Amino acid sequence: MVGKVLLILLAAHILKMATGQEATPEPCGGELVVGEFTLIKNPGYPNENNQQGKYPNNADCVWTYEGNEDSLVVFKFWDLVIELGDGGSNSTCDYDYLEIDIESLGPTKYCGYSKPEEAIMGFGSLTIHFASDDSVNYRGFQASYSINEDYNPCEPDPCINGDCGRSEDRVRRVCECFPGAEGEVCEIDINECESDPCQNGGSCTQSSDLDLYTCQCAISFNGDNCENEMDSPCVSNPCQNDATCSMIPPFNYVCDCAQHYKGINCEIADFPPCLSSPCNSGGTCNDIANDVTEDDVTISDYNGYTCACTRKYRGVHCETETGCMNPGIPYVEENKKFDEGSTVEFSCVEGFILVGKANTTCTIDGSWSNQMPECINNSTSTEDTDDSMSSWTAAMIGLGVALAIKVVLFTLWMVYRGPWVKMDDDPEIPDNDTFKQHVQSVSSYISDDVFERERPGSLRSYGTSY
Ligand SMILES: [Ca+2]
């Protein structure tokens, strides 16, 4: 009986040996390799020598990679047949399992009979742990992994017209396109004109800039997209100074200027200079103007003015009075002016000798050409002792003449109100010599009528006027 049992155990042992299940456990686990895809599988996984291979009981294989934050870890299943967990669960994996622990994702156990199709990707350290209990074994898993220690999906930058960024899981690159670009790597320049942005008949042109376009607007429209209809050009009152604005097709205007204004918008004042009466003292102003004819419209282009002065004034604006003051003629007011060029001639009454020049002329600068002469008593120059009778007679005659002249002068003043007679209430009779000397002086005055009035009183002297 004992021999039979031993035989059975031996047979079982031989059978196990034949299937490899009780072979010495293969060494497993260790450090994972950095680089491109590397194959990994559990011990006992089927191979050329053992097509029916299975993982051993109580397997406990741990593969590790320390990793860093830029280490991209990719794990891809090729095969998965591992005992399911309680109740056939492929998530609890209570008995046998393969646990993939990528730092950025956390640990996940895998078991069951269907492999995940998607690759598992994450960052940081990687730990692969294969474990089995003491019964029910299958062939296990076969997979590949890769480890890239300096992974950056934006190097080289694939985005043509955009900024490269990373997806939430940091694995994939995402191109954020600049305005006007689209596509996986922003390789497409969007045609902004395709959406017909230019309104009201405007034509669209793409700019060399990615996201820009220009609208060539139809007449009477403006705005970036020709969205505004413009007012008539006359609405903004471009014509100044009471000018009249008229619209010119298609969209222009013309100003009809008021008198004395010119310029496209009638903004230039062009008054005839004489309008401001620049000539003084009755001078006549004459505009200097060139008549310019443009488009059948004649405009005077004023170029200054001249003043034609009356004969008593000179200067650009007739501002300078000409003529001379009274040279010393008695009874003629000091401010009575003599015309420039007028001559006064002097002579003495009988018995007096004229000393000095017998005439004087009013010059252009307002002064007299000669000083007024004096009349010296002829008799006083001779001996006064020879005949007292004749001396007395001469005195009487002189007094008589003086009185007579005064009467004449006074009468003339009364008749003509001539300005050359002093208007004293009670004029003193001057000393003979002085009186005689002065009454002989007569002149012409500024105005012709005064000059005419003067003539009757000229007596024995006269004046001239130009
Ligand atoms: Ca098992």
- Interval between CA 105 and ligand 1 midpoint (Å): 26
Q: CB neighbours (10 Å) of residue 96? A: 25
CA 1 from chain center: how many Å? Answer: 119
Report the alpha-carbon distance of residue 359 to residue 345 in Å, rounded: 4
Contact predicate 414/386, CB 8 Å: no
The rounded Å distance from CA 323 to ligand 1 centre is 146
Q: Note the pLDDT of residue 87.
A: 94
Residue-level pLDDT at 345: 80
CA distance readout (Å), 217 to 143, 197, 200: 66, 11, 8
pTM over cut 0.75: no
- Residue 337 makes CB contacts below 8 A (sequence gap 6+) with 312, 321, 323, 324, 325, 445, 446
Cα–Cα dist 336/235, whole Å: 65
> Alpha carbon of 194 to those of 60, 184, 206: distances in Å?
65, 21, 10
Q: Residue 272: which region, alpha, beta or left (left: phi > 0; alpha: psi -120 to 50)?
A: beta
pLDDT at 407: 43
- State pLDDT tens for residues 137-162: 999 999 999 999 999 989 899 999 99
- Where do the structural domains in the chain lie, given as residue ranges? 24-148, 192-229, 233-270, 271-321, 343-382+389-464
Classify 273 as helix, strand or coil: helix
Alpha carbon 94 to chain centroid distance? 81
How far apart CA 240 and CA 263 sit, in angstroms, is 10
CA of 17 to the centre of ligand 1 (A): 19
Residue with token string 């940081």: 124
- 209-247 burial string, b = 16+ CB within 10 Å, else e? ebeebebebbeebbeebbeeeeeebbeeebbbbebebee
The C-alpha atoms of residue 104 and residue 124 are separated, in whole angstroms, by 6
Mapped onto helix, strand or coil, the DSSP state of residue 397 is helix
Maximum distance among all Cα pairs of the chain, rounded to whole angstroms:
224
Residue 83 C-alpha to ligand 1 middle, in angstroms?
5
8 Å CB contact between 221 and 229: yes
Å from CA of 134 to ligand 1 middle: 6
**Do you know the residue count of the chain?**
466
The ranges of the chain with pLDDT < 70 are 1-26, 297, 330-336, 379-466
User: Residue 308 C-alpha to ligand 1 middle, in angstroms?
Assistant: 135
Ligand 1 centre distance from Cα of residue 122 (Å): 29
pLDDT digits (tens, 9 = 90+) for 441-465: 443 333 333 333 333 322 223 333 3
3-state secondary structure of 261: strand
Residue 394's pLDDT is what?
Answer: 55
Euclidean distance between the first and the last CA atom of the chain, given in angstroms as a whole number: 185
Is the Cβ–Cβ distance between 82 and 140 less than 8 Å?
yes
Class of domain 192-229: mainly beta
User: What is the spatial distance between Cα 387 and Cα 392, in angstroms, rounded to a whole number?
Assistant: 9
Q: Which fold has domain 24-148?
A: Jelly Rolls (2.60.120)
Say how many Å lie between the CA of residue 119 and the centre of ligand 1: 25
Distance (angstroms) between ligand 1 centre and the Cα of 70 equals: 36
Q: Cβ distance 332 to 443 under 8 Å?
A: yes
Class of the domain covering 233-270: mainly beta
pLDDT at position 206: 87
Structure tokens at 377: 């008593």
Q: Is 401 exposed, middle or buried (0-12, 13-18, 19+ CB in 10 A)?
A: middle
- Indicate if 233-270 has the same CATH topology as 24-148: no
Q: How far is the CA of 81 from the centre of ligand 1 (A)?
A: 11
pLDDT at 411: 39
Angle at alpha carbon of residue 272, lines to 269 and 273, rounded to 5°: 105
Question: What separation in Å is there between the alpha carbon of 87 and the centre of ligand 1?
Answer: 14
> Dihedral, CA atoms, 314, 320, 322, 326, nearest 10 degrees?
180
Distance 110 CA to ligand 1 centre (A): 13
pLDDT of residue 169: 81
Distance in angstroms (rounded) separating the CA atoms of residues 176 and 181: 9
Query: Peptide bond before 330: cis, by omega within 30 degrees of 0?
Result: no
d(Cα 58, Cα 133) in Å, to the nearest integer? 5
Interatomic CA distance for residues 251 and 222, integer angstroms: 12
Q: What tokens appear for 164 in the block? A: 């490269």
What pairs with residue 30 in β-bridges? 63
- Compute, in angstroms, the gap from residue 56 CA to the centroid of ligand 1: 9
Domain boundaries 271-321, CATH class: mainly beta
Nearest partner of 77 among 34, 123, 108, judged by Cα: 108
DSSP string, 172-226: SEEEEEPTTEESTTS-EE--GGGG----TT-EEEE-SSTT-EEEEPPTTEESTTS
From CA 401, how far away is CA 349, in angstroms rounded? Answer: 9
